[in-house]
Structure formats: structure tokens, C-alpha cells
Structure 1
Amino acid sequence: MSIKRIEPGKRMSGAVVHGNTVYLAGQVGEGSTVTEQSKSALAEVDRLLAAAGSDKSKILQTIIYLSDMSTFGEMNAVWEAWIDPANPPARATSGAPLATPDYLVEFIVTAAV
């Protein structure tokens, strides 16, 4: 089976397609609030999924990290407005320190192609 790397860089690729599955690197967004960062990061998820020939209706699993679990409801409001309600993926959310203090939320997505 072939492996296709989307936006490969020195440290990682934006996404990797293997077989009928696409694995996205963790997506963080811009902005000063969890709402802003979630919207920005999920727009990047949309963009990378499209580059792989997929879309949010084909997401299999999402892992979400929040730097502060008190923002869970704020992130969920953005998530619920964005996700395809007919095709919700398996999902886990956890609190964890992220790569920099500026990052408040990170989305890791695996989808079918």
C-alpha cells in the first residue's frame, strides 16, 4: 500500500494517507479564546481533509486536548456546530499542557478517505 504525505515538513506532515485512512497532525488554531482557536483549528481540519479527498462526514475518531478543562463547554459549542450531526465520530477529550501556553485546544483527527 502506498503512503501519501500532505504538506510534509522537516518535523512532520500535515496529514498522511495510508490505504483508505487519513491521519491528521494535531491541529491548533489562532485566537485568544478556546472558541476562536477551535473554529480556526477545525477550519484547518476541513482543509486538510479536503486535500486528502475526505471530509468531516468521514471522520472516524477525534482526540481533543484542552489546556484547561474548564473550557470544555466552550469547545463543545464550537464542535457541535461544526461536526456532521449524521456522522459523529468516536471522540475523547482530555486536559493536557500543550506545546506552548498560547495553545488552548488541539484536535487530532483520523478519517476514512
Structure 2
Amino acid sequence: MTGTLRKIGGSSRFSAIAVHNGQVHLAGQVSQLKDGDIAVQSRDVLAKVDALLAEAGCGRDDLISVQIWLSDMADYAGMNAVWDEWVSSVTPPTRVCVEARMAQPHYRIEVLAIAAER
């Protein structure tokens, strides 16, 4: 293996952050807010991404790529409204957004991010 591998936080099942070869990989982030609509859940999830990036020593402006899964593409416009606010102060990363069945019925969005290490 080339480079140093560092893992931060998480549980016995997965690491919250893995840093390797100049990249910060975040675990997928979901909202535990069961009553939240897509805007509420999107803000919650993106705040979690911000916190993990900060823990790894970087921020939104270091994002390389973001993958977004929605439980229902009818939430696409609502999620994009929150996303557009969130990335408004930086050059946005590459992004993909697809519909997927989620692990829990109350999850409306899951976000996975990769950033450049500072």
C-alpha cells in the first residue's frame, strides 16, 4: 500500500473517515430526523458532512466528489435548493444523484463525499 492510511471515528462496522493518499473519504451520511422533510434532512446530512470534513482538517472547498442517494426523485428539487445554498460559497465538486432504496424507511437522503486532504 502506498501512503499512510488513517481512520477516524465510526463504529465496529465502519470508519467515519478514512484518509489515504491525499484524499479524505467520508462514510455515507443519513439523517436520523424521522419527521423531517427533504429540506430538513438535507440540511442535517450536509451539516454532518461539514463536521466530518472539519474533523479531518478540511472543508467544503476541498470537496472533490459527492454522491447523493434519494429515496424518491420527487425530492430532487427540494434537495437541490438546500444543496445550492450549501455550495454557494465554493466551487462545487463533481456530483451524482440517483434514486435508491434506503436502509431505513425514514431515510430520505444519503450523502457520500470525497475531499482533498490539506
Instruction: Quickly name the TM-score band, shorter chain normalised.
Output: over 0.9
Shift of residue 110 of structure 1? 0.4
Give me the TM-score of the superposition, normalised by structure 2.
Answer: 0.91
Partners of 1:11 and 1:99 lie apart in 2 by 15
Report sequence identity in percent: 38
Q: Tell me which of 41, 64, 70 is aligned to 2:68.
A: 64
Equivalent residues in 2 for 1:1-113 (5 A)?
Answer: 1-31=3-33, 32-113=36-117
Distance 1:12 1:78, change over 3 A: same
Partners of 1:63 and 1:4 lie apart in 2 by 22
Shift of residue 15 of structure 1? 1.0
Give me the TM-score of the superposition, normalised by structure 1.
Answer: 0.95
Partners of 1:86 and 1:74 lie apart in 2 by 20
Give the 4+ runs in structure 1 shifted more than 4 A.
Answer: none
Kept in 2: contact 1:22–1:110 (CA 8 A) = yes
Partners of 1:22 and 1:38 lie apart in 2 by 21
Superposed CA offset, 1:18-77 (max 9, x none): 121000000112332111111011111000001111100010000000000001000000
Shift of residue 8 of structure 1? 3.4
Structure 2 gap ranges (5+): none
Q: AA paired with 2:9? A: E
Q: AA paired with 1:3? A: L
Partners of 1:90 and 1:24 lie apart in 2 by 15
Structure 1 gap ranges (5+): none
Count of aligned pairs between the two proteins: 113
Give the secondary-structure state (helix, strand or coil) at the position aligned to 1:44: helix
